[in-house]
Structure formats: C-alpha cells, structure tokens
Amino acid sequence: MGFPHPSHPRETVVLSKHFGDAGARSYQGWVERGGYAGLRQALGMVPDEVTNAVKESGLRGRGGAGFPTGLKWSFMPKPSGKPHYLVCNADESEPGTFKDREIMRWTPHALIEGCAIASYAIGAHTCYIYIRGEFTEPLRIMEDAVAEAYANGALGPNVLSSGKRIDMVLHRGAGAYICGEETGLMNSLEGKRGNPRIKPPFPAQAGVFGLPTTVNNVETLAAVPHIIVRGAAWYKGLVMGSPKSPGTKLISVCGHVQKPGNYEITLGFPMKDLVFELAGGMRPGRTLKAVIPGGSSVPIMSAAEVENCPTDYENIQANGSMLGSGGMIVMDDSTDMVYQIWRLARFYAHESCAQCTQCREGTAWTTKILERILAGKGKEEDLDLLLDLSEQMTGKTICVLSDSCAAPVVSGIQKFRSEFEAYISKARKPALVAV
Amino acid sequence: MTQETVTVTIEGTRIAVPNGTTIIEAAKQAGIVVPHYCYHPSLPSPAVCRMCLVEVEKQPKLMPACVTTVTDGQVVLVESPKAKAARQSVLEFLLINHPLDCPICDQAGECELQDYVFQEGRSSTRYSEYAKRYSPVEDFGPDILYVPNRCILCTRCVRFMESVAEDPILNVSERGDRAYIGISEDQLLDHPWSGNVVDLCPVGSLLSKDFLHKARAWDLDKTASVCPGCTQGCNITIDTRDDVVVRLRPRPNLEVNRHFMCDHGRMNYRWMNRGDRIEAPLVRDGARHVATDWDAALDRFGEILRGTRGSAVILASGLASTESLGLIRRLVEGRDVTAAVQVPVGDEAPLTGIPSLALRRDRAPNVAGAELLGYGRDWAGAMAAVANAAVVIVLDAELSPDDQALLARAPGLLVLLGTVPYEGIRNATLVLPVTSMAEENGTYVNRDLRAQRYNQARSQPGMARPAWWVAGEVLAGPGPDADAPATAAQAFAMLGATWDVFTGLTYADVGFTGHVLKPNAPAGAAR
C-alpha cells in the first residue's frame, strides 16, 4: 500500500502489506503476521535449493540494474573456509526513490529475515546492512529490530535452533550518493573513501575485505521470504507484461501527482494507470509532460512514451528508458525541462567521486553549459556540445555515474529540444542570473 | 594455465605474451605506447584517467588497457577512430581546468599532458568562457610543492605513498571537479623516498623545490649513471645544463631500483659542481709544489714506485671506480699491501613496498667492488699501517684532520690522487688531479655484486684524468708505444688478468642494466 494512502485495489500488496501498521515492527508482531516462517523453512533446505528457488522465481535486483538475484547468488564460490559476506544495500541514494526507507520503517524484520535467508543460501556468516546516513528513523527502527532478532534467536550463533550462525551489522553511511554503487559501498564499508572499484574482480570473487560478497538491495531481500513461503511458481506467475519481469515492485511516485507515495504493482502494470489512477493523476488543469521512471539516472520519457508502456524492465527499455530503482519522477506541463535537467546535472557534478576524468570534469562542464543556457547566454552549438560531451561520458568510466548524468541530458535534448532553443534564442526569459 | 603464452594482435602486430599480461604492457612489447596517465608499471593500476581506453574486438565498450588482460586471439585497436575520439575527449576534459602556464612550468618539455595534447588533442578548446578552477600552491614538505591547478588527479603520488612507501599521508580530498591532492594534517611529505612523487607526476603539479625554475627540460643533457649515494647502486640519470649538474633522477632498472631513488641520493650532487679543484699535477720541489705536465708527473710516479721497497698503503675513496681501484692496486703488486676503502655510514631507509630496495647503511657505491679487489674496510688499521709504509697512495679519500696529521708524520713517500685540495696535500711528494665519478666512465659493483656502468656527465676540470688512466700509464711504463688503456672499457678488461671474478668480462657484457658477478674463487686475493 502506498502509505500514507490506503491500498488501491489494483495494487498487488506483498511487501507493503504492513506499511502503516506499527505492530508489525516488533519481533512478536512480525511472527504473528507470518514472519520468520520463510527463514525457518529455508534453514530446512540445502543452501543450493534456496538459491535455485530464487533463481526459478525470476526475482531480479530491485536496486536498479535488474540482475537476476538467484544467478547472482550462484556466482558465490563454494565454501572454502574463507568468510563470505552478504551486504544489504540500504543506501537508497537515488533521487526520487524512497521505497527501501518504507520497508525498513514498517517491516524491519522482513529485511532481517530476507538477509538471513540470503546469508544462509550464499554461505555468509555475516551480513552488513549499509544504511544511508540520512535515514535516522529507519536506522533506529532497524537497530531495535536487530537487537530483538538476536534476543529471540533469529540471529546469532544458533539461528532458530538450526545450529547456523548468522550475524548482522548495521553500518551507517555518511551521505555520498556514490556509496549506493555496490563497489563504492564496499570501499566505504571498509572505511575507505567510497570510490567505485574496477570490475573485474566482481564482488563474488573479491568483494568486501577482498572476500566473496553478494550485494543485494533491500527490496530484493525483503521479497525473498515470500518466495520461500509461497513458492517460486507463485512469484513467477506475478506477471502483467514481459514474462522476464515477474513479481511485485514498489514504485516511489513523486513529483506532480496528486497522491505521491509508494505503490506496489505487479510488474507490467500500465504506467499510465500508475500515474493517473494509483497516484491520482495531475493537479487540476495540468497535463503530463514527462516521467523519469527509474530514479534520476535514467532517460526521461515523454508523455507519449508513457501512454502505452507497461511498467517492467523490458517494456520501459523498449520505450527508451529503464525501470531502475523504481523512483518515478512525474512532471506536468508547468515544468521547465531545461531547469530540471540542470538540477540533475548539478547533483551528479556534486556527487562525482573524482576518479574518472570524463565524470569529474564532464559532469561539471555539463552543469556549466546548462547554467549558461538558463542564464540566456547559450549558443546554438551548445546543444551539439552537450550531446558530444554526453557521448564521451557514456560507457567509458568505472561506474555509471557519468552515464547517469548524460542520460537525462541526451533524452532531454532529444525530446524537449524546443525548450532549450527557447532559452538560446532568448524567446524565453533567463531562469538563472548571469554566470 | 598460468605459464601459457597467448597471442594477441595489437594494431596489426601479432605478439605472444605470457598469460595475464595487461594490454598496455603487451602493446609496449609490440612497440606501441598506449597513451596513459594513471598507469605506472611500479604502481597498482586504478584505471581512473581513462586515457588508455582501447578498442577490443567483440567488446561493446572501450576497455582500459592498463587493467584489461590479454586473451588468446584478441584483436586490439589503439588508433581506431573510437579510441582516438575517447582520448581526445579525455585530453579536452583534462585541459578545461589545467592552466596553460607551460612557459613558467618546470615540467614543460617533459610533460605528458603537453606531449599527448600536441600528439592528438584538439587544436582549440570548446571551454573558453569560464574561469578555470583555482587553488593556491601548497608546500607539501622539505622539497615538494603542490600546484593543484595543474593536477590531473591521476593519483600516482597517492598510490606511491600508500602502496610503495607505505606511509599513506597523501589522499584525494573533496569530490567532483573540486577534488585535489590532500595531505594529512600536521604531516609533511618528508619520507626519505618522497622525492619520487615529483618524477611520478605526469604534469607539473608536484615540483621539486631544489630544481624549481632552475632549467628548462629541453636544455638538459642527460647521462646514464649510477647513484654514488650508497651500496644499493640505483640507476640514475645525471641532468646537466651547460656542464653543471642540476638534477639527479632515477633511471628504471627493474632488478635494482625499479623506477625509484631516495632523497639522499637525489640531493647528493652539489659536490659534483665544485669549482675549487686540483687542476694540474704537482711535484714537490723542496718545500713547495710545482705544477708540471702529465709526462713528467707520470715519470715521477714511476720513479717513486721503483725507488721504494717495503710495504705500501692505499687509502681509497668509496666513490672510486672498479677500474681505478683495480689498476691502482696493481701498481703495488708484490709488496706487502694494506688497502682500505672509505665507507661513510648512516641510517638505513628502506622503501618498504619494494623488496630489497633501501638507502643502505654503507654510503659508498663501490664497497663490494673494492672488497673483490682486495680492499678492506678497516680504515683505522690502514692508517696505523701508514707508520711503517714505504709508499702511501691516497685515491681521493676524504682525510680527517687527524688522518692528515698522521700522514704528515709518515716516513714513506705520499702520492695523492685527488679532486679537491686541502691542507694535507702539502705533505705529498706527488699530487695528481683525477676526475670525479661525474667526469669519467667507470663501473661500480653494488651490494648484490652487480657491476653497473656509469658515464661521463660533465667535462674534466683542467688536466684531471681518471685514476685508472694514471695507473694504466704508470703500469705500461714510459714511451710512445706503451700498452696503456685508453678507455675505461680497456681498463675494465685488464682487471680479469688479476682477479678471476672479472675474467673475460667486457663493457658489452655489463651492458646498460648491469651484470651480476659470480665470484667462484675466494674473493679479494690478488694473484
């Protein structure tokens, strides 16, 4: 349900069932609501069976990349005496995304249970949950929940009397966007500067502290207990669009809608209905202009592209964007696209870790050009320059931060070129003071 | 798997390299330099500058050549339009905040940014209307300045301090285009090997205060040499400008010093430029010395040796070449000889990240060579032996006032081969001007018995000659068709006649990376 809004009948409520229900936060409350059954059941299975169940369910990473979760787990080496780690990415730094926060606020034990099952499946004795520094309330709730889970034997040396040891450590981030990138996160976790690492080696070979590691998003892990309890076939059957995108997904809808919030949909749900029906549509008298469907890093979709697009990995990609983290930023016809794109570029310029040349200099330069256009000092050739810089900032760096800066710029110029030209030709009043 | 070789095609050149080689190293072996900034063969590769992106067949993205390992049958394109466009764009990005102050930058002429921009950069910038990032120059330590404006954040200096010096006091501070190289608060970049960050810096961002504004890179003459600072024997380049030594820099030798040298060695060059030199042979005439020519001086040396019987003492500088030590030693063959080499000592300072590389305790370059040639390290013993010696030869040793007083009271004849004059030379029967290591060709033998050649970097002052030449002439005797060595190579070849360890060895064998001697006979004994 899209807390604080009541559940919409067209939502598929799995992860969000207990949002707004403070009773679900306690260990006892969670057990009463069917919690920890999944963990108990998983501990009775062979770890590979757990991995296979997740593989068969078709669950894909909910953090942004959409990589098949079971396949990721199967990359972990067989037990060799070396410690394995599970890292839960709860940094949720992607602008426009606020689903993990709600999972941790309302159903902390869902995450703990998911983490414990995943740890068991990949042979990890320790799970780190890397929580975004700004998440003060979720952190407090998670701390209480972890303490309770230890006290009730759901974590610790003898998990649910199975003889298995699983420890959980909450690690608080310090507020850098790039620490949500899995390798940057691992560096940060190790106490280093949160610079993304070169892959290979991949985390499953040499992750945190140089040891085999799996990094999963909060929403991904929270879905795991349901898959174990209700079965892979049930999850795989939750399809409204592409069969390669099964399951439910929390979509954080924000921006110019009447009812912003988290909506849990079966993947493939029509994007148009999501915006206009679930999220309440535009304000009176306004029309839809654009949607950034997957957090700030993905290309912008025009209203026409939204019209017939099912909300799943494949269909959004076919419409020129990405499902990403499911942070949907909706913009109506009052939006100044040039200003919004500048605002995004400025964010990336600020958050670039400064390793790769294209990103360090390119994000800042892009921001300055957009600033100049907004100040009414743009030139004809600036749009080609922006596209050329974006081309060189795409696919050439260690991580995708620079690609993420380029994506809204390129799609913005492609789809809303006239707005840029209006500033350049001075048909529109400058939106920023001279730079 | 590990020992296999793989065959790759780089820019049309097929080459077989060991499995696990990076593309950048494989390309080097094929004779192709992939432009790069952050990569350095002696540092871990972070792949951050993105300059070495190359096109690899069947890979959708350009790959960083510095961390991508070769696979069998791989086809790599360095000069493809896609790769060139990416490099051009990296250069453009690097230049938007880089000041074009090359006319006042020490690095100009040996700057990798300058070189690559000239080679393949854009002819004009598209970033003309904004101010560049500005930060003031920072004083990092005793010899190092940091000019943040010129910094391209390649992080070689950070990685050197972290992984090689293992004293991680440098860091990247801030983010995005505000990033700069930071130094831990209250700390100085004063590690005994910190000077290497200046060499590692591909641009003029880290500068040596010692070399600051001293010379333009293109005015320098570069001479391959060996550091005279200690027994490690780091390979170096002596940079001279108008016959004056202005800088020492490390010269790569993977077996000895990789790409590094210590600050002690780096700063140990001012003595090479001393102007107060003994410039002519001096013969004693009653109470005074009279300048003479070499013919007369060499005849006099011969007479002294032939006219004396009894024991001899040789007091040699630790800086003396193997050739000079050997041939001087041969002059007194057949006598009871006490030969000693002078070895100043200091604290050992290892470069912890590189095995067996350190500023050594023994601060002389040829201790091992001298020992092979029968010289001992018992300086006091040799000074004591002076009291009974018929002849004492001083080979450019630095004599303390006490040593000089002892020599003044010595009964024997004193022949002094020297570079700089001092009070004690008054007591010498014969004073012969010799060259310093910067002014001659020669070899040193380092602590691992690696014989390494050094070359003449500046001209000989006055009539000074290498000591091996002096000894060679005396050994050959007077006359025009005498069989005296004319070059250091010939002098070196003569050593084998007396010392087995050098038998059959030539300068060609020693080459440019040195030759490890294998003493099979007990070292030190003259036959």
Regarding whether B454 and B325 lie in a shared domain, the answer is yes
How high is the pLDDT of residue B524? 47
Least Cα distance to A121 among A24, A192, A55, A186 occurs for: A55
Regarding whether B302 and B194 lie in a shared domain, the answer is no
Contacts of A365 in chain B (CB under 8 A): 93, 96, 127
Residue B23 lies in a domain: yes
Domain membership of residue A300 as a residue range = 248-332
CB-closest option in A360, A385, A435 to B177 = A360
The residue of chain B nearest to residue A201, with distances taken between CA atoms, is B67
Contacts of B129 in chain A (CB under 8 A): 372
How many other CB atoms sit within 10 Å of the CB of residue B112? Answer: 17
Regarding whether B336 and B224 lie in a shared domain, the answer is no
How high is the pLDDT of residue B131? 81
Domain harbouring B308, CATH code: 3.40.50.740
Domain harbouring A67, CATH code: 3.40.50.11540
Residue B110 lies in a domain: no
- Which of B253, B273, B293 represents a domain boundary (last residue)? B273
Between positions 119 and 138 of B, the ones with CB within 8 A of A are: 126-127, 129-130
How many domains in chain A?
Answer: 3
Regarding whether B286 and B269 lie in a shared domain, the answer is no
Contacts of B46 in chain A (CB under 8 A): 198, 355
The sign one gets for the Cα dihedral B503, B504, B508, B511 is negative
Residue B434 lies in a domain: yes
How high is the pLDDT of residue B3? 61
How many other CB atoms sit within 10 Å of the CB of residue B202? Answer: 25
Residue B20 lies in a domain: yes
Across A370-382, average pLDDT: 94
Residue A302 lies in a domain: yes
- Cβ B51–A357 below 8 Å, yes or no? yes
Contacts of A406 in chain B (CB under 8 A): none
- Cβ A198–B64 below 8 Å, yes or no? yes
Regarding whether A310 and A274 lie in a shared domain, the answer is yes
| Angle (nearest 5°) at CA B3 between B1 and B9 | 85
- Min CA distance, A254 vs chain B (Å)? 28
Measure the CA–CA gap between A19 and A217, rounded to whole angstroms.
Answer: 18
Please give the single-letter amino acid code of residue B388.
N
- Cβ A396–B50 below 8 Å, yes or no? yes
Which pTM does this prediction carry? 0.94
The residue of chain B nearest to residue A359, with distances taken between CA atoms, is B176
For A51, the enclosing helix (H) or strand (E) is helix A47-57
Burial of A366 (C-beta count, 10 Å sphere; 0-12/13-18/19+): buried
Regarding whether B291 and B229 lie in a shared domain, the answer is no
- Min CA distance, A403 vs chain B (Å)? 13
Alpha-carbon separation of residue A170 from A129, A140, A210, A218 (angstroms): 5, 10, 19, 13
Regarding whether A139 and A222 lie in a shared domain, the answer is yes
Regarding whether A394 and A258 lie in a shared domain, the answer is no
Regarding whether B262 and B295 lie in a shared domain, the answer is no
How high is the pLDDT of residue B1? 46
Contacts of A199 in chain B (CB under 8 A): none
Measure the CA–CA gap between A374 and A326, rounded to whole angstroms.
Answer: 29
Residue A11 lies in a domain: no
Regarding whether B346 and B309 lie in a shared domain, the answer is yes
Query: 10-residue block means of pLDDT along chain B (527 residues)?
Result: 82 96 97 97 96 96 97 96 97 95 96 96 84 92 96 98 97 96 94 98 98 97 98 98 97 97 98 96 94 96 95 97 98 96 97 96 97 97 96 97 95 96 93 98 98 98 97 90 89 96 96 90 46
Domain harbouring A290, CATH code: 3.10.20.600
For the segment A249-289, what is each residue's pLDDT rounded down to a tens digit?
999 999 999 999 999 999 999 999 999 999 999 999 999 99
Q: What string of DSSP letters covers B101-126? A: -GGG-TTTTS-HHHHHHHHHS-SS-S
On whether ipTM exceeds 0.85, the answer is yes
- Which of A236, A271, A291 represents a domain boundary (last residue)? A236
Residue A58 lies in a domain: yes
Q: What string of DSSP letters covers B207-262? A: EETTTTTT--GGG-EEEEEE--SSTT--EEEEEEETTEEEEEEE--BTTTTBT---
Regarding whether A209 and A74 lie in a shared domain, the answer is yes
- Which of B273, B300, B332 represents a domain boundary (last residue)? B273
Regarding whether B317 and B179 lie in a shared domain, the answer is no
Regarding whether A157 and A224 lie in a shared domain, the answer is yes
Regarding whether B242 and B135 lie in a shared domain, the answer is yes
Domain harbouring B72, CATH code: 3.10.20.740
Residue B524 lies in a domain: no
- Cβ A354–B67 below 8 Å, yes or no? no
Regarding whether B295 and B229 lie in a shared domain, the answer is no
* Mutation for B interface: A190, A346, A360, most B CBs within 10 A: A360
- Cβ A365–B176 below 8 Å, yes or no? no
Distance in Å from the first CA to the final CA of chain B: 52
For the segment B293-341, what is each residue's pLDDT rounded down to a tens digit?
999 999 999 999 999 999 999 999 999 999 999 999 999 999 999 999 9
Please check the confidence at residue A226 and state whether its pLDDT lies above 90: yes
Regarding whether B317 and B460 lie in a shared domain, the answer is yes
Regarding whether A343 and A327 lie in a shared domain, the answer is no
Contacts of B156 in chain A (CB under 8 A): none
Contacts of A360 in chain B (CB under 8 A): 93, 153, 176-177, 179
Residue B115 lies in a domain: no
Strands A126-131 and A85-90: parallel
Residue B219 lies in a domain: yes
CB-closest option in A357, A362, A365 to B49 = A357
Name the token pair of A237. 């059957």
- Cβ A350–B176 below 8 Å, yes or no? yes
Residue A7 lies in a domain: no
Residue A185 lies in a domain: yes
How high is the pLDDT of residue A434? 53
Domain membership of residue B209 as a residue range = 127-273
Regarding whether A400 and A322 lie in a shared domain, the answer is no
For the segment A336-372, what is each residue's pLDDT rounded down to a tens digit?
999 999 999 999 999 999 999 999 999 999 999 999 9
How many domains in chain B?
Answer: 3
For A144, how many CA atoms within 13 A lie in the half-sphere containing its CB? 15
Residue A9 lies in a domain: no
Q: What is the DSSP letter of B386?
A: G
Regarding whether A362 and A302 lie in a shared domain, the answer is no
Helix, strand, coil percentages for chain A (3-state, nearest 5): 45, 15, 40
Between positions 383 and 402 of A, the ones with CB within 8 A of B are: 385, 389, 392, 395-398
- Which of A206, A236, A266 represents a domain boundary (last residue)? A236
- Which of A297, A332, A367 represents a domain boundary (last residue)? A332
Confidence of residue A2 (pLDDT cuts 50, 70, 90): low
Please check the confidence at residue A150 and state whether its pLDDT lies above 60: yes
Regarding whether A412 and A288 lie in a shared domain, the answer is no
Across A64-85, average pLDDT: 95
How high is the pLDDT of residue A435? 54
Regarding whether B372 and B471 lie in a shared domain, the answer is yes
Residue A211 lies in a domain: yes
Q: Is B86 touching A (CB cutoff 8 A)?
A: yes
How high is the pLDDT of residue B519? 86
